[in-house]
Amino acid sequence: MERAKVETGAALVSLLFSAFGLIEAWGYSGEGGMMPRAVMLLMVALSAIWCIQSIARLGHHSGEIISATPQQLRGAALLAVAGLFLLFGMQYLGFFTTAVFVLPAVAYGLGYREPKGLAIATGLFMLLLIVVFRIFLAVPLPVELLFSFMEG
């Protein structure tokens, strides 16, 4: 398939989801809603730029054809499944608990096989998230499964 068509489609999907995310984030109240709104606004802007650039390339028949390899398709499927797991996992387990499972699983699925590295990277990422929410945003962490193990 022609690269410009694939990119235009992907940019439109990205723009659509970013716009839905911005609408959702706009409903968040207080200071805790500032970061999601800023991130989603940036995503809308970047997706719009990508979309405009891709549409502009549609008229220029560069003839550049791209095709996905089986490995790329598996990676895309893995990321889609991980996204769905995050979406539903956040509702039932909580964001942080779900992330502890999804982050190393995705890294492993994409080819990183070092258990110590997976554990360290996951731990550091979770620590970063906790610091951002507790210290920088001064938002209390939600009650969820992961923190119940940490407290006692």
pLDDT tens readout for residues 76-128: 899 999 999 988 888 788 888 888 899 999 999 988 889 999 999 999 998 89
- The whole domain housing 106 covers 68-152
Residue 14 CA to chain centroid, in angstroms? 11
| 18/83 same-domain check | no
| 128/100 same-domain check | yes
Q: Which of 67, 90, 124 is the last residue of a domain?
A: 67
| 105/117 same-domain check | yes
| 88/78 same-domain check | yes
Question: Measured between alpha carbons, how far is residue 45 from residues 3, 18, 38, 40, 79 in Å?
Answer: 22, 9, 11, 9, 23
Q: What is the number of structural domains in the chain?
A: 2
Q: Which of 22, 42, 67 is the last residue of a domain?
A: 67
| 111/41 same-domain check | no
Q: Which residues touch 144 (CB under 8 Å, ≥6 apart)? A: 93, 94, 95, 96, 97
| 117/74 same-domain check | yes
Residue 152, pLDDT > 70, answer no
| 49/73 same-domain check | no
Band of pLDDT at residue 47, cut at 50, 70 and 90: very high
Residue 136, pLDDT > 90, answer no
| 116/89 same-domain check | yes
Axis crossing angle, helix 95-109 with helix 70-92, rounded to the nearest 10: 170
Q: Rounded to an integer, what distance in angstroms lies between the CA atom of residue 147 and that of residue 152? A: 9
Q: Is 47:11 a contact under the CB 8 Å cutoff?
A: yes
pLDDT tens-place string over residues 22-40: 998 898 877 778 888 899 9
Residue 19, pLDDT > 90, answer yes
| 47/77 same-domain check | no
